[in-house]
Amino acid sequence: MKAPKSIYVCTECDYQSTKWMGKCPSCGAWNTFEEQEISDLDSADKGPGRAAARHALFSTAVDTGADAVVIDDLEMPSYMRTETGLGELDRVLGGGLVLGSVVLLSGEPGIGKSTMLMQVSATLGKSCRVLYVSGEESQGQLKLRAKRLDIHGANLYLCIETNIRNIIKQTDKLKPNVLIVDSIQTIYNDEINSAPGSVTQVKEAAMALIHKAKNEGISVLLVGHVNKEGGIAGPKVLEHMVDAVIYFEGERQQTYRIIRAIKNRYGSTNEIGVFEMTDTGLSEVENPSEMLLSGRPQGISGNCAVCVIEGSRPIVAEIQALVTQTFFPSPRRSSTGIDYNRLQMILAVLEKRLGLRFSANDAYLNVIGGLRLDEPAADLAVALSLISSLKDKVLPDDMVAIGELGLAGEVRAVGGIEQRVRECARLGFSRIVIPKKNAEMKPMHIAGVELFAAGSIYDTISFFA
Ligand code: TYD
Ligand code: MG
């Protein structure tokens, strides 16, 4: 049989097939197959860049032939960290940028990635040499942004380039300590016959940069675009290759921005960083609760405040529900900021345990400020906001609800209760609903705060009397 000259590669997951397919059988994405000549793939695989990059990729797991050691005898690694000038970013990175690490910064277009990196390069430029490579903007545009952000410095170099070989050449010439590449999807290798932004190109470019970072101790910050589904465009492998992946959340239309690490080899992934986009760039928000609660409507049904813990910080946010009569055979449910399945579960619990007719109503749920709440501790506030909207009964404005809801309608204990209650009290909330188990385990007395211990969802019904 004649060997095929080309194969088709999925641009999302790198799945390979000899035939073109509309839907990728591996990742399920549509219209992602691209034709690639086999000779390109071979040469890419054999190319010196690829081989070297492979080595770099696995250089933490080298073939040393050394004997195994007892875990207690291993030395504690000491990472050299540099502050980026944005405390909220340092917090998400785990205490600053680790020297020689590769960080991928991702988010929707226009969310503020380039702005953040330009601000970071200004601070880093004070203590080390920074090379900012842009494949997306002209020198004029970069200069305009730099002026807007009031950024200058003899140690900050800008370069408009998309060819990886030229980027490496510039890096060899300037020997920067920090290399910023905005964005990885625009970078290409002219030895590979595949369009910029394709899996092969993105992987190739990232490998070459990671190789550089690891071999020469350069910190690399990469910008990655997101695709329609909200994932990082290009291969998933990009996430595996880098040391940290930081994701921008929040709404472009609103002024606040939230960053979260979805992977971090040098720190926790629980911390979030909160910023506000101003006329002069991103400014840090040290008290996110105050920002999230500002301009809160008073006396409206369907609103309930909640306190979640993000990393080391308690954050008070507001949940809004709208429950209206449905005109569809099956009611509509929509959820922003809370897991959709979690909303379905809470609705089912309320229907079954309290006999509330949610099945005849559409339900819309929203967390104000573009915050995403993953913690089950938000369940009780979700339930109360739904009941409040269904019954059109307003909850007290100074009330917060904290607790996980079980399938039997029981309110389950949550961690860090004292920290949460204190944050709520600091923000002026005087009625705090907490799980009964928490109240029994650790009785608390805080001046001006009334604590309601709820053992089950039935105990909260008095709020709607
Ligand atoms: P940008 O950093 O270009 O986004 P990304 O690189 O993620 O695509 O920023 C985009 C938006 O931010 C743009 O709409 C303008 C706005 N912006 C400000 O509001 N203030 C500023 O100081 C700057 C530089 C940008
Ligand atoms: Mg940009």
Domain spans, the chain: 6-43, 80-286, 291-464
Cis ω on the peptide bond leading into residue 183 (within 30° of 0)?
A: yes
Instruction: State the pLDDT confidence band at 63, using cuts at 50, 70 and 90.
Output: low
Q: What is the pLDDT of residue 243?
A: 93
Query: What pLDDT is attached to residue 57?
Result: 37
Report the C-alpha gap between 383 and 404 in whole angstroms.
10
Full 3-state SS string of 178-220: EEEEECHHHCECCCCCCCCCCHHHHHHHHHHHHHHHHHHCCEE
Mean pLDDT of the chain: 87
Packed helices 199-216 and 38-46: angle between N→C axes, nearest 10 degrees: 10
Task: Average the pLDDT over 410-417 and give the result.
Answer: 95
Residue of 150, 173, 147 whose CA lies nearest to 159: 173
Lowest mean pLDDT segment, chosen from 26-30, 34-38, 174-178:
34-38
Q: Which residues contact 146 (CB under 8 A, 6 or more apart)?
A: 118, 152, 158
- Tell me the mean pLDDT in the region 17-31: 85
Q: Which of these ranges, 83-92, 111-120, 366-375, 383-392, has the smallest mean pLDDT?
A: 366-375
Taking phi over 0 as left and psi of -120 to 50 as alpha, with beta for the rest, 396 belongs to beta
Residue with tokens 């019954």: 391
Least distant ligand from the CA of 136: 2
Residue 242: per-residue pLDDT: 93
How much distance in Å is there from the Cα of 111 to the middle of ligand 2?
Answer: 8
Residue 172 has pLDDT above 90, yes or no: yes
Q: What is the pLDDT of residue 200?
A: 83
The SS3 of residue 168 is: helix
* Sign of the dihedral through C-alpha 132, 225, 369, 384: negative
Specify the pLDDT at position 3.
Answer: 62
Task: For residue 108, give Cα distances in angstroms to 28, 49, 56, 226, 398.
Answer: 22, 30, 29, 6, 35
Q: What is the mean pLDDT of residues 15-28?
A: 85
What sections of 224-265 are H helices per DSSP? 237-241
Identify how many contiguous H helices and E strands the chain contains and give both numbers.
Answer: 13, 23
pTM (2 d.p.):
0.75
- d(CA 364, CA 333) in angstroms, rounded, equals 6
Q: Which of 277, 278, 280, 283 to mutate to test the pocket of ligand 1 (most atoms within 8 A of CB)?
A: 277
Q: Are 259 and 284 in contact (CB under 8 A)?
A: no
Q: Tell me the mean pLDDT in the region 431-453.
A: 93
Q: Which of 49-53, 98-102, 180-184, 430-434 has the lowest mean pLDDT?
A: 49-53
257 C-beta closer than 6 A to ligand 1: no
Instruction: Give the torsion through C-alpha atoms of 63, 65, 69, 73, to 10 deg.
Output: -70
Contact 110 CB / ligand 1 (< 6 Å): yes
- Residue 55: band (very low, low, confident or very high) from pLDDT cuts 50, 70, 90: very low
**Smallest Cα–Cα separation from 390: which of 301, 296, 299?**
301
Burial tier of 345 (Cβ tally within 10 Å: 0-12, 13-18, 19+): middle
CA-CA distance, 343 to 331, in Å (whole number)?
Answer: 13
Nearest atom in ligand 1 to the alpha carbon of residue 148 is 22
Residue with the larger pLDDT of the pair 403 and 42: 403
Position 43 scores a pLDDT of 45
Atom of ligand 1 nearest to the CA of 281: 22
Q: What is the pLDDT of residue 230?
A: 63
**pLDDT over 50 at 45, yes or no:** no
Q: Which of 7, 402, 393 is nearest to 15 (CA)?
A: 7
Identical topology for domains 80-286 and 291-464: no
Shortest-distance atom of ligand 1 to CA 109: 8
Any ligand 1 atom below 6 A from CB of 143: no
CATH domain 291-464 topology:
Ribosomal Protein S5; domain 2 (3.30.230)
User: Which of 3.40.50.2300, 3.40.50.300, 3.40.190.10, 3.40.50.10600 would CATH assign to domain 80-286?
Assistant: 3.40.50.300
Q: Which two tokens stand for residue 421?
A: 């209650």
Taking a C-beta distance cutoff of 8 angstroms, is the pair 267, 101 a contact? no
Q: Residue 435: how many CB atoms within 10 A of its CB?
A: 24
Looking at the chain, the whole-number percentage of residues with pLDDT higher than 90 is 53
Q: Assess contact for 344 and 327: CB atoms under 8 A.
A: no
pLDDT of residue 289: 85
Q: Which amino acid is at 102?
A: V
Query: Tens of pLDDT along 174-230?
Result: 999 999 999 898 999 998 888 887 888 888 899 999 998 888 989 999 999 886 666
Q: Is the shortest distance between the CB of 115 and ligand 1 below 6 Å? A: yes
254 within ligand 1 shell (Cβ under 6 A): no
Ligand 1 binding pocket includes 279 (Cβ within 6 Å):
yes
Asked if pLDDT for residue 44 goes beyond 60, the answer is no
250 CB near ligand 1 (under 6 Å): no
What pLDDT, on the 0 to 100 scale, is given for residue 50?
41
Closest to 320 measured CA to CA, from 342, 305, 340, 331: 305
- Give the whole-number percent of the chain exceeding pLDDT 70: 91
What is the rounded average pLDDT of the residues 352-371? 92
Report the candidate in 129, 88, 95, 94 with the shortest Cα–Cα distance to residue 112. 88
Q: What tokens appear for 217 in the block? A: 């101790």
Spell 81-105 as b/e; 16+ CB within 10 A means b: bbbbbbebbbbbbbebbbbbbbbbb
